[in-house]
């Protein structure tokens, strides 16, 4: 939603959430900030100030609410129950969205699973798809998690072994193909990508790029084509039964090494934090 508003030159975008996901995010982020202090990141004073501000909010969590009598220029209601199949943005326009059934069977040469559009659970799901493949992939598969922390956790869980066994090319965490200036697909290739945009020539010269979920991208990589709905569901059936485990977020407050580092950081006196920030 925020991407769509930015594409249309909106001055800003606000997403209304309930407290639970914000509490979960803040608890994780507080641990991450103090892990950074323990590992010498600067400015430690600023990092600690942010951690303490989040702790203060958690002690009295209040959210901004719209006025009961607020008026809106337009209200658009989307009934997710009416979406019966995966959606793809077709070449080469992120607004040209079609259901899977309208593009099924399209030959695919390369697949990119990465960018900031994904969270760690998407990579676990993609790995579960690849585990079902016998032999070599018929496509060139690129994998690039958004952060080094994702990469580390996926390595710890053995997910990178699955990518390696499948023949996927694992890139340095970050933008990779999404920006089109770190790596490029072959000219004039057909691609399924999880990146944010599919503008002409962005991922590769003359490439036709479909934007899709990590799960659909992985199935397309396994088949060498955009699947039918039945083919997609066949690969996804095992994932659905494991979704609670697969789609866990990377919560730093639940990782022992991050917890221990955060506890050490809390033992640093505030004056020491200020002094290290000044040096």
Name the residue with tokens 């209200």. 75
Give the pLDDT score at 183: 85
Distance between CA atoms of residues 165 and 128, nearest Å: 13
State the chain's mean pLDDT as an integer: 91
Give the mean pLDDT of 113-138: 94
> Domain coordinates of the chain in residue numbers?
2-66+251-278, 86-246
Do 2-66+251-278 and 86-246 have matching folds?
A: no
What architecture is the 86-246 domain classified under in CATH? 2-Layer Sandwich (3.30)
Distance between CA atoms of residues 248 and 234, nearest Å: 22
Give the mean pLDDT of 121-126: 96
Asked if pLDDT for residue 278 goes beyond 60, the answer is no
β-pairing, 169-170 vs 87-89, is unpaired
Distance between CA atoms of residues 218 and 166, nearest Å: 11
Give the pLDDT score at 55: 96
pLDDT in tens, 213-223: 999 999 999 99
pLDDT in tens, 178-210: 887 778 999 999 999 999 889 999 999 999 999
What percentage of the chain has pLDDT greater than the value 90?
75
Q: Kindly provide the residue ranges of all beta strands, DSSP E only, lying in the chain, ordered along the sequence.
A: 87-89, 97-99, 110-114, 140-144, 169-170, 190-193, 208-211
What percentage of the chain has pLDDT greater than the value 70?
96
Give the pLDDT score at 241: 72
pLDDT band for position 273 (cuts 50, 70, 90): low
- Sheet with 87-89, strands from edge to edge, namely 97-99, 87-89, 208-211, 190-193, 110-114, 140-144, 169-170
Q: Does domain 2-66+251-278 have CATH number 3.40.50.300?
A: no
């Amino acid at each position: 939603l925020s991407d769509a508003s930015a594409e249309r030159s909106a001055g800003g975008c606000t997403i209304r959430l309930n407290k639970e996901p914000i509490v979960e995010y803040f608890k994780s982020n507080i641990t991450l900030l103090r892990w950074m202090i323990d590992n010498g990141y600067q400015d430690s004073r600023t990092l600690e100030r942010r951690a303490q501000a989040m702790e203060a909010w958690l002690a009295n969590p209040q959210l901004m609410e719209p006025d009961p009598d607020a008026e809106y220029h337009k209200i658009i209601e989307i009934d997710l129950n009416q979406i019966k199949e995966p959606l793809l943005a077709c070449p080469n326009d992120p607004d040209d969205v079609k259901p899977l059934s309208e593009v099924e069977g399209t030959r695919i040469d390369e697949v990119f699973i990465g960018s900031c559009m994904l969270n760690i659970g998407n990579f676990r799901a993609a790995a579960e798809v690849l585990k079902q493949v016998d032999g070599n992939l018929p496509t060139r598969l690129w994998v690039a998690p958004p952060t080094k922390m994702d990469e580390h956790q996926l390595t710890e869980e053995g997910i990178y072994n699955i990518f390696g066994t499948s023949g996927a090319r694992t890139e340095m965490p970050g933008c990779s193909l999404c920006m089109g200036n770190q790596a490029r697909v072959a000219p004039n290739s057909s691609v399924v990508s999880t990146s944010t945009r599919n503008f002409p020539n962005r991922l590769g010269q003359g490439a036709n790029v479909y934007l899709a979920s990590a799960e659909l991208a992985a199935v397309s990589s396994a088949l060498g084509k955009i699947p039918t709905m039945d083919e997609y569901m066949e690969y996804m059936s095992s994932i659905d039964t494991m979704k609670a485990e697969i789609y866990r977020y990377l919560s730093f407050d639940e990782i022992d090494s991050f917890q221990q580092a955060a506890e050490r950081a809390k033992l640093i006196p505030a004056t020491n934090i200020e002094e290290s920030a000044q040096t």
